[in-house]
């Protein structure tokens, strides 16, 4: 008799919709590596006027990643028909009820209402865009990932105790011909220690300890663009270790799968 699948182990089915006019082909490898963390990209579509020369860099990667190009002519100069086409397809896919979430790849605030509408239906929305993305679109998503992070081929080692974290290193320009397709790396950002401390206070037990996983989940609800990589760390645990004057980290046994159970608390300031 075949064993039943455990619902908790089932991966989420995601629809990936890319606005070619407001995203760059240089993110493609990092994009799908990131999406794989959240589920399976069951649908992969990209929208744009493929007769236009500026989309040439995208044409080179579509087949390699099995992305379906959707042709949308610009009917009127200055009007973006691509947005409308993507939004219509998103709603069609929504009503199939086959998806657990959507990945919207664009830096365009025109998709703010779409993200909000998808969330109203109980679906998870992951946004991907450049640092210039307007805040309303960032906030409308459940989680927002800046694509400058995805271009970084390597991350610095976690900062030593008391040291300031280093900014994410940009990917080296291996092909000069494509250098114009890569904007400047994301600006180093200050670790939001006060926001993290507030989340810990809301989850801690009588001794001040809170599960690190729960802290990471809750801070993303408050700041949808929170990502340790923005501050030079690979993981939240590395960020906590890199700020020993504000936080303490403790390991308690292992999970049923053999993973570490980490707890964090705000360090008491007595000095």
pLDDT value, residue 188: 64
- Cα pseudo-dihedral 57, 63, 69, 71, rounded to 10: 70
For residue 156, the 8-state DSSP code is P
pLDDT value, residue 132: 94
- Name residue, tokens 């009007």: 79
Domain with CATH 3.40.50.1010 in the chain: 12-151
Backbone phi and psi for residue 32, each to the nearest 5 degrees, phi listed first: -75, -25
Secondary structure (3-state) at 114: helix
Q: Which CATH class is domain 186-266?
A: alpha beta
Burial of 29 (0-12, 13-18, 19+ CB in 10 A): middle
Taking the domain 12-151, which CATH number applies?
Answer: 3.40.50.1010
Residue 47: both structure tokens together? 């929208």
Residues 159, 165, 166, 171: is their CA dihedral positive or negative?
positive
Distance (Å, whole) CA 37 – CA 34: 5
Domain with CATH 3.30.420.610 in the chain: 186-266
pLDDT value, residue 75: 58
Distance (Å, whole) CA 249 – CA 262: 7
pTM higher than 0.85, yes or no? no
pLDDT value, residue 268: 80
pLDDT value, residue 1: 43
Secondary structure (3-state) at 261: strand
Distance (Å, whole) CA 154 – CA 195: 27
Burial of 16 (0-12, 13-18, 19+ CB in 10 A): buried
Low-confidence ranges of the chain (pLDDT < 50): 1-8, 78-79, 153-163, 169-180, 270-271
Reported for 92-96, long-range contacts at CB under 8 A and 24+ positions apart, including other chains, are: 93/15, 93/43, 94/118, 94/121, 94/123
pLDDT value, residue 71: 92
Backbone phi and psi for residue 161, each to the nearest 5 degrees, phi listed first: -55, 125
Distance (Å, whole) CA 147 – CA 30: 8
In order, the DSSP letters of 20-49 are GGGS-GGGHHHHHHHHTTT-EEEEEEEEE-
């Amino acid at each position: 008799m075949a064993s039943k699948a455990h619902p908790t182990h089932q991966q989420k089915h995601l629809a990936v919709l890319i606005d070619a006019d407001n995203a760059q082909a240089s993110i493609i490898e990092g994009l799908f590596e990131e999406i794989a963390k959240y589920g399976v990209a069951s649908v992969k579509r990209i929208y744009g006027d493929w007769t236009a020369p500026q989309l040439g860099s995208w044409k080179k990667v579509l087949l390699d990643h099995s992305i379906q190009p959707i042709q949308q002519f610009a009917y009127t100069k200055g009007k973006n028909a691509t947005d409308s086409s993507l939004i219509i397809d998103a709603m069609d896919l929504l009503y199939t009820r086959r998806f657990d979430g959507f990945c919207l790849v664009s830096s365009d605030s025109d998709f703010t209402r779409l993200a909000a509408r998808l969330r109203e239906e109980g679906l998870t929305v992951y946004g991907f865009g450049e640092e210039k993305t307007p805040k309303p679109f960032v906030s409308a998503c459940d989680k927002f990932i800046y694509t400058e992070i995805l271009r970084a081929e390597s991350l610095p080692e976690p900062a030593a105790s008391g040291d300031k974290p280093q900014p994410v290193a940009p990917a080296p320009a291996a092909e000069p011909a494509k250098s114009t397709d890569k904007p400047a790396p994301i600006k180093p950002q200050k670790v939001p220690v006060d926001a993290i401390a507030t989340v810990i206070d809301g989850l801690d037990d009588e001794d001040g300890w809170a599960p690190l996983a729960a802290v990471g989940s809750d801070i993303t609800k408050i700041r949808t663009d929170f990502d340790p990589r923005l501050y030079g760390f690979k993981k939240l645990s590395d960020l906590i270790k890199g700020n020993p004057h504000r936080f303490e980290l403790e390991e308690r046994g292992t999970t049923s799968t053999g993973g570490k159970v980490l707890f964090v608390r705000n360090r008491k300031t007595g000095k």
